[in-house]
Structure 1
Amino acid sequence: MAPAPAFAPQPEVAESSLLSVRVLRAHGFPSRDLLSPSDCYVCLWLPTATSQELRTRTVRNCSCPVWNQTFRFRIQGLLKNVLELKVFDRDQLSVDDLLFSVLFDVGTLRAGETRLESFTLNPQGPERLDVEFHLRRLPEPPEQLLTNGVLVARELCSLDVCMEKASAATLGSSNGEGVELSVVGSYEGNQKVSVHAGPVSFHCPSYWDPELTIHLQNAAQEPLRVPLRTLPPNQPVKVAFPSAQETPLELKLKAEEVPGELSMRLGFGPCAGEQAFLGQRKQVVAKALKRLLQLEEDLPEDQVPVVAVMANGGGIRAMTALLGQLSGLQQLGLLDCVTYITGASGSTWAMADLYEDPDWSRKDLAGPIAMARARVTRSKLGVLAPERLWQYQRELRERAEQGHPSCFTDLWCLLNEALLHDQPHHRTLSEQRKALSRGQNPLPIYCALNTKDRRLNTFEFGEWVEFTPYEVGFPKYGAFIPPELFGSEFFMGRLMKRLPESRICFLEGIWSNLFAANLEDSLYWTSDPAQFWDRWAQARASLDKEVIPYSRLEEPPTATVAGRIAEVFKGLLTRRPLVGSTPNFLRGLEFHRNYFENPNFSAWKDTILDALPNQLTPSERYLCLLDVGYFVNTSCLPLLPPDRDVDLILSFDYSLDGAFQQLELVGRYCREQSIPFPAITPTPEELLRPQECHIFSDPARPDAPVVLHFPLVSDSFRHYSVPGVRRGPAEETGGELNLAAVGSPYHYTQLTYSEEDADKLLGLARYNICNNQEQILEGLREAVERRRRRRRPRPAPE
């Protein structure tokens, strides 16, 4: 079982209020129709109060429409209630034109206040929408909410429906297909119930005053409706509906409150399992440091530094080189000093294989390296053999029967596994806890990026997701679930539908998912990344001032013909045709009214949507996960939160087109996010001829980690087979590696290496670690001393 959650969410009491919104009139909207004035209507969307979008009537052929319609919403003051108002021009022949939209923060209203707002796109322009708001407290029992200061889980109710009696005419056919039921805003949506089948259940937020709608087969008859608030709690009730048939429709209904306990952790910082591991790992690290640094005394627990290996992506090249580097650390006795190993894309393949053995770092890595070498040098044509294709089809069908949504990513996962292994590996991420049970190995952290499946590129919306044997989750939101539940379905923090834990190959395919990219992401790979980062930095500069004002107006892209063409073109650039479909475990959760000011959230805000809670990830049904390389090809981000308190990072970079490019992007990201990190400023000489190891530190920032950067370069390796041993004439070719960006046998598109190329890459990776033993030891000494300085008590003032 998963370890108990740490930092449990705090219960808070929220009082209800009634928000009245009277849409009055609009002025000066130009017509989008050629022959007549606009046919305007207004849509209202307040997702914290209802799942339905409300709308006014349509006023035809009028440039100054008057609606004078009032809409009421029951809201909770503890939430970030942002009302969206959109004005449309109805079109009979095409999609209705959006004239403009406005966001209004209801939190700016005081109880008892009435406010008239005139929203304009331009103070000098003619367009104006007049709306009157009124807020009144409701004398209702307070609602119990659970929150971590960013996300909020609200009370849920459930409804069980069982059909007791029904006529064939009611069911629509003699074989009894059932009657369609729906509860708007529920997790289940629409379901069918029949006499012979069992009951069906609905789960819905209690505060929405949900109602059961019964859609009868007779189209002439209005749907039947039962408000759930009219049902006695926790008591079954039989309800009979009048019918012209001899057998009336009779249903048994039971409404009850869902227990408040969550199936996920809402909290920031390491979970209980990771904290327990850290306590055990510090003992291992302290013992190794005493031996390596020849310390006279044992290190106290608070003086044991946290050392991390940061492995970047790069396909089979990254997988192979990481194994060589880890074997170098093991050869020098340094592997026991490492607390974390983070991986992205191809480096996660090596990590996942190693952690199948609970004691891998205590054993000679020659065995895993030999198996990896055999895999990368064998032919890959067999992955498309007929028997393999039947195997893929059979497993995908079984996953669909279990309830997993079908998507192309699952096929890529199986193909990727076939490329890396001879047979399927029936291992899971949660089983890797065995490799951490005694603190015997570093803790692995696997990285992915969550994006939007359309309308935005990865630089406009990208959120870091981390996978460990203990948890999977979003550090940004402070929301985590055990890996056993990843892929299962959640609603409002509760587990709705549990599915079997996926084999780890289905996670490896996510961590290296190149197929969820859109055209704009692909441009990043074929051009200078700096231009994309310039755009991201500009968006961040404006985001700092983007705390939701009481109103925010947006001019629609469809206002002009050029705008429409640009919108279509952007849709083509940003649509992800092969996106995965992982159920979103944040679904239904809402935002605390002060979420944007919460330091745990604002320190990690990454996107242009962070100030727009209605458009963030909890509103999505599925996650869109892909390789982090489409933003920055690094696994560094999980090491930067202050709770992990990392002192020394061994940065393993496998790029062929720039020894410092990805690390420089990490440094720029941290600078824009105000995250402590040393400045990455290689000298012109280092850029021209990078060395095997580069040290970056910031003595003025003791909270910033020291970084030892190991780019994939062949410097002295061409002359030395092992440190201090020169190559003989017969060995000279063993040190010659083609690491050029073009034409290299190690390019990420190369799926098969020759035995000679595989041996060279493994030898180079091991050599570059062993040849820099003193630099690593010096980094460890500095990390220990920095810990001592940080823990040393300050002298009392005289």
Structure 2
Amino acid sequence: MRGRAGPFGSGLVLDGSPWPLLWACLVSFGLSSLQQACPPRPLQAKVPGTCLLTIRVLQAHGLPSKDLVTPSDCYVSLWLPTASSHRLQTRTVKNSRNPVWNQSFRFRIHSQLKNVLQLQVFDQDLLTSDDPMLSVLFDLGTLQAGDFRRESFSLNPQGEERLEVEFRLQRLTDCAEQLFSNGILVARELSCLHVRLEEAGDQKQSEGRVQLVVPGSCEGQHEASVGADPFCFHCPACWEQELGILLQDAPQEQLKVPLRALPSGQVVRLVFPTSQEPLMRVELRKEEGPRELAVRLGCGPCAEEQAFLSRRKRVVARALKQALQLDDDLQEDEIPVVAVMATGGGIRAMVSLYGQLAGLRELGLLDCISYITGASGSTWALANLYEDPEWSQKDLAGPTATLKTQVTKSKLGVLAPSHLQRYWQELAERARQGHPTCFTDLWALISEALLHDEPHDHTLSAQREALSHGQNPLPIYCALNTKEKNLTTFEFGEWCEFSPYEVGFPKYGAFIPSELFGSEFFMGRLTKRLPESRICFLEGIWSNLYAANLQDSLYWASEPSQFWDRWAQDRATLDKEQVPLLKIEETPTGAGRIAEFFTDLLTRRPLAQATHNFLRGLHFHKDYFHHPHFSTWKATKLDGLPNQLTPAEPHLCLLDVGYLINTSFPPLLRPTRDVDLILSLDYNLGGAFQQLQLLGRLCQAQGIPFPPISPSPEEQRQPRECHLFLDPACPDAPAVLHFPLVDGSFREYEAPGIPRPPEEKAAGEVNLSSSDSPYHYSKLTYSPEDADKLLCLTHYNICNNRERLLEALRGALQRRRGRHQPQ
């Protein structure tokens, strides 16, 4: 297998040789390290495997009547998103419980894709929406080239309702296609169609508007005017598509042009024979789309992150040698990967993280850290700190003083008319640039005003300067992607990570450069680049409090562990050996429609966040579900239904991870990052181990190496400042040194080993109650005394556990050495 890395990383290209089969076998045995050791490259060879699928919808039997008297008027809808942009349908058969259609449909499919056909029987209704009667999902991967098969799909094994369909699959030997894949997602060839409208003759230019439509393209439809600049459609090259041109003033007049009939690279001019004057000339030019992907398909860290780690190891090695008083220099493969994990918690999390990072720096241990992950409020602290490229090499007294000024100032001015006017002006400019409009952007600007006196022009990609010579840990910010409606966060949630280098989904092995987040993509290619958003708009995503649905609100209002338990028990898991090849879907009955209404009421997110989806248009590899990285953090059986997963959505719906588990652990648990020790900084009020235990149970369910979280009853009642969790039987599980937000010995000591004088006792009393604490997440303004107490408490808890930290670092070093000793 030849290999080289492209400018955006690497991906597997299937070339028709035995390599695809070998790769699939290796993946099924979990040998993902091959991909990292020898990253495959995009090949120019075309991939055979295109087949002609003929589907003949025969008949149905025993369909229910829509009332007691009149039989149903039925038709069948066919939806195959890997082969067509259209939902095709049969004719309607009137007044029959046993309709016969006998209609054939043809699709070009590729055998390397996960082709899932949806067949639906509808009862046509002229007054209301058509009623679904039967829905079938059929995996076409069960067919082999040359097969002729007749299937009878039954809604109920005991019932008589069934649909009969014939399938014929024939290999097309003269068709091949270039595919890019990482074993999970597949990018196909792309075509570009440039369209320009001109007037024929010398008549005065018309002011009429024209609608251009290419179904299945990235753009879908576009309104244009005669004489305007050319417009470009991006669409899959392999599909049988056509351009539709409609006059808005005369919709009955339209022109349709099959794209396959256009010669590639040549200009074709047509005259639209309209009944109106002046006539309109259509200029068309079809060409190949970009070959290189702008989306990196790969499950390991990007080349920039690997280069950073190499630079950071030199800093970590010096810091560890000094902290642990080692005699000899550390070899590169001996250096442990140590990370800081910070939870969310609003202003409380931001202030606490400042205090703890100052403590680590005072102990000389901040340079031992390679990664820092944050969620919700802790991302505010990281975004502030990384504006200074040398922040961890300086005294944090200055940034801390600035922080105190911001968290103690009055927040009433953020809604002043002058501020509101500025917000609307910037939101209008974003909309003009092409960003989807959503309430989260307004929240982002308000939260920026809460934490800063003036807008900051800093961006996420600008933080690369703070990593240029390994001088700071690599920051990773976490968000959760979910569905805008119909599913709760517990039913579907995917972890999304943001770093100065990349933004992406580890679950899919798909990443883009951070400066391209928010731009428009299709089939892995960049179709419209938008200006990079200021980091405040990302902070609005990471701390998105306004994408909650009623179900999420019930979770927050109840005891989280009990609520999570109920959902976890009811949630169906999907075993990799039980991927559904055929699924019959229940259709809503009268009672089902009532339940559907309440489900919609509970799950709809009225203020959902919206960002252009950089996975849009990508298809799934036929063996995607068996890929070892795809199973990580999968949520429900929806993962077995590729037509309903994130690449099918036009927009992402990103929100605060606290709607599921208040943690930023997931990026550190990716096996490709190989983290040895995680300093867990937990800012939850009450339940010192609750979120960590929820995470541990999720890891156990998903087979992710993680130490058991089993504090003693005494530790549960009165948690200490620091707890170490290990799993000696699992060398792949990181050690976790857990720092809950507690005020144990801080009440008695103003600094480690220095008792607090009687007149300073009040300074040691920190109210961390989950009900009436001044640090509740809803509190946006702290008193100077409360801000000082929280900063001092978190700083003290780190410094007071110096020996526990050094002991954990020694353990991480020993385990790293043990793992790399020759067997």
Q: Shorter-chain TM-score: which interval?
A: over 0.9
Q: Quick one: structure 1 residues 447 and 689, their matched pair in 2 at CA, closer, same or farther if it must change by over 3 Å?
A: same
Q: How does 1:450-469 map to 2 (within 5 A)?
A: 450-469=481-500
C-alpha separation in 2, matches of 1:227 and 1:761: 67
Contact 2:196 2:227 in 1 (8 A): no
Of 737, 755, 765, the residue aligned with 2:784 is: 755
Match of 1:527 in 2: 558
Paired residue type of 2:157 = P
1:176 Cα offset (Å): 2.0
Secondary structure of 2:109's counterpart equals: strand
Instruction: State the distance in 2 between where 1:21 and 1:168 align.
Output: 51
State the Cα distance separating 1:93 from its structure 2 match: 3.1
Q: Does 1:725 align with 2:754?
A: yes
Pairing of 1:327-366 with structure 2 (within 5 A) = 327-366=358-397
Q: 1:152 and 2:186 equivalent?
A: yes
Q: Is 1:5 aligned to residue 8 of structure 2? A: yes
> What amino acid is the match of 1:641?
R
Query: Are 1:94 and 2:123 matched, yes or no?
Result: no
Distance 1:413 1:583, change over 3 A: same
1:182 equivalent in structure 2: 213
Instruction: Say if 1:222 and 1:237 are closer, same or farther in 2 by CA, change over 3 A.
Output: same
Return the alpha-carbon distance in structure 2 between the equivalents of residues 317 and 199 of structure 1. Answer: 52
Report deviation, 1:112: 1.3
1:316 aligns with one of 323, 339, 347: 347
Match of 2:140 in 1: 106
C-alpha contact 1:168 1:176 (8 A) present in aligned 2: no
Q: How far off its partner does 1:222 sit?
A: 5.1
1:427 aligns with 2:458: yes
Q: CA deviation at 1:161?
A: 1.5
- Does residue 500 of the first structure (1) align with residue 500 of the second (2)? no
User: How far did residue 203 of structure 1 move?
Assistant: 1.2
Q: Distance in 2 between matches of 1:664 and 1:504?
A: 32
Deviations 1:630-688 (A, max 9, x none): 01000000000111100101000011121000000110111011000000011100010
Query: Residue 23 of structure 1 is aligned with which of 57, 60, 63?
Result: 57
Q: CA deviation at 1:246?
A: 6.7
Supply the AA of the counterpart residue of 2:803: E
Deviations 1:165-205 (CA, angstroms, capped at 9, x unpaired): 24899xxx974223222111111122234432121211111
Identity of matched residues, %: 65
- The Cα shift of 1:443 comes to 0.3
TM-score, L = length of structure 1 = 0.96
How far is 1:540 from its partner? Answer: 6.0
The one-character-per-residue Cα deviations of 1:505-550 (angstroms, maximum 9, x if unpaired) are: 0000100001011110111111133344335544665311674433
1:119 to 153, 176, 194: 153
CA distance in 1, matches of 2:763, 2:263: 80
AA aligned opposite 1:46: L
For residue 372 of structure 1, give the secondary structure of its aligned residue in structure 2: helix
Question: Secondary structure at 2:66's aligned position in 1?
Answer: coil
How many pairs were matched up? 788
Which residue of structure 1 aligns with residue 37 of structure 2? none
Partner of 2:670: 641
Q: Please say if residues 447 and 466 of structure 1, whose CA atoms lie closer than 8 Å, have aligned partners that are also in contact.
A: yes
**Contact 1:3/1:470 (<8 A) preserved:** no
Which of 734, 747, 766 is the aligned partner of 1:705?
734
Alpha-carbon distance in structure 1 between the residues aligned to 2:195 and 2:184:
35
In structure 2, stretches of 5+ residues that fail to align are 16-46
1:542 partnered with 2:573? yes
Q: Does the aligned pair in 2 maintain the 1:38–1:60 contact within 8 Å?
A: yes
1:273 aligns with 2:304: yes
Matches within 5 A, 1:618-629: 618-629=647-658
Change (3 A) 1:217 1:604: closer
**Kindly tell me: are residues 539 and 464 of structure 1, through their superposed partners in 2, closer, same or farther at Cα, counting changes over 3 Å?**
farther
Provide, for residues 415-437 of structure 1, a one-character-per-residue CA deviation record: whole Å limited to 9, x for no partner. 01011111111100000000000
Task: State the AA in 2 paired with 1:290.
Answer: K
In structure 2, how many angstroms separate the alpha carbons of the residues matched to 1:401 and 1:507?
19
Distance apart, 1:110 and its partner CA? 1.1
Which of 64, 85, 93 pairs up with 1:51?
Answer: 85
1:163: how far off?
Answer: 2.1
* Separation in structure 2 between the aligned mates of residue 246 and residue 416 of structure 1, nearest angstrom: 55
Partner SS state of residue 178, structure 2: strand
Distance (Å, rounded) in 1 between the aligned partners of 2:175 and 2:81: 21
5+ residue gaps, structure 1, are none
Q: Deviations over 1:750-782 (max 9, x none)?
A: 111111111000000000000000000000000
Task: Look up the match of 1:471.
Answer: 502
Return the alpha-carbon distance in structure 2 between the equivalents of residues 596 and 496 of structure 1.
Answer: 28
How do 1:676-695 and structure 2 match up within 5 A?
676-695=705-724
Change (3 A) 1:785 1:61: same
Q: Out of 228, 234, 244, which is 1:197 matched to?
A: 228
TM-score for both structures, normalised by structure 2:
0.93
Greater alpha carbon shift after TM alignment, 578-587 vs 136-145: 136-145
SS in structure 2 of the partner of residue 572 of structure 1: helix
Higher mean alpha-carbon deviation, 226-235 vs 624-633, is at 226-235
Distance in 1 (CA, whole Å) between partners of 2:472 and 2:248 is 62
Alignment pair present for 1:132 and 2:166: yes
Secondary structure of the corresponding residue to residue 322 of structure 1? helix
Matched to 2:191, the amino acid is C
- Is the CA contact (8 Å cut-off) linking 1:156 and 1:257 kept in structure 2? yes
Give the residue type in structure 2 aligned to 1:363: K
Contact residue 166 and residue 195 of structure 1 kept, 8 A: no
Change (3 A) 1:88 1:575: same
2:260 corresponds to: 229
The answer to whether the 8 A contact 1:3-1:272 is kept is no
How far, CA to CA, are the matches of 1:218 and 1:514 in structure 2?
45
SS in 1 for 2:179: strand
Q: Do the aligned residues in 2 keep the contact of 1:105 with 1:548 (CA within 8 Å)?
A: no
Question: In structure 1, which of residues 71, 75, 93 is the aligned counterpart of residue 109 of structure 2?
Answer: 75
Displacement after TM superposition at 1:720 (Å): 0.2
Q: Distance in 1 between matches of 2:225 and 2:200?
A: 8
Partner of residue 776, structure 1: 805
Question: Residue 607 of structure 2 corresponds to which residue in structure 1?
Answer: 578
Query: 1:674 — aligned with what?
Result: 703
Which of these residues, 449, 453, 456, is aligned with residue 418 of structure 1? Answer: 449
AA partner of residue 256 (structure 1):
E
Q: Which moved more, 1:210-219 or 1:55-64?
A: 210-219
Q: Contact conserved, 2:78 with 2:120, CA < 8 A, in 1? A: yes
Contact 1:9 1:265 in 2 (8 A): no
Tell me how far apart the structure 1 counterparts of residues 493 and 274 of structure 2 sit (CA, whole Å).
54
Secondary structure of the equivalent of 1:671?
A: helix
* Counterpart secondary structure, 2:629: helix
Please report how far the alpha carbon of residue 4 of structure 1 lies from its aligned counterpart in structure 2 after TM superposition.
4.1
- Matching of residue 737 in structure 1 with residue 766 in structure 2: yes
* 2-structure distance, mates of 1:602, 1:443: 26
The more displaced of 37-46 and 710-719 is 37-46
Tell me by how many angstroms 1:250 deviates: 2.1
| Distance change >3 Å, CA 517–CA 246, structure 1 → 2 | closer
RMSD of Structure 2 on Structure 1 (CA): 1.8
Letter in 2 for 1:6: G
Cα distance in 2, alignment partners of residues 562 and 541 from structure 1: 23
Letter in 1 for 2:10: F
Contact 2:572/2:636 (8 A) holds in 1: no
| 2:205–2:226 contact (8 Å) kept in structure 1 | no
Contact 1:312 1:652 in 2 (8 A): yes
Q: Is the 8 A contact 1:546 1:611 kept in 2?
A: no
Deviation at 1:302, TM superposition (A): 0.5
Q: Once structures 1 and 2 are overlaid, which stretch shifts more, 128-137 or 445-454?
A: 128-137
Distance apart, 1:139 and its partner CA: 3.1
Paired with 2:593 and 2:284, the residues of 1 have a C-alpha distance of 49
Q: Which moved more, 1:220-229 or 1:650-659?
A: 220-229
The CA deviation string for residues 616-638 of structure 1, in whole angstroms up to 9 with x for no partner, is 00000000000000010000000
Task: Provide closer, same or farther for how the CA distance between residues 762 and 220 of structure 1 changes in structure 2, counting only shifts above 3 A.
Answer: closer
Q: In structure 1, what residue type is equivalent to 2:434?
A: G
Q: CA deviation at 1:88?
A: 1.5
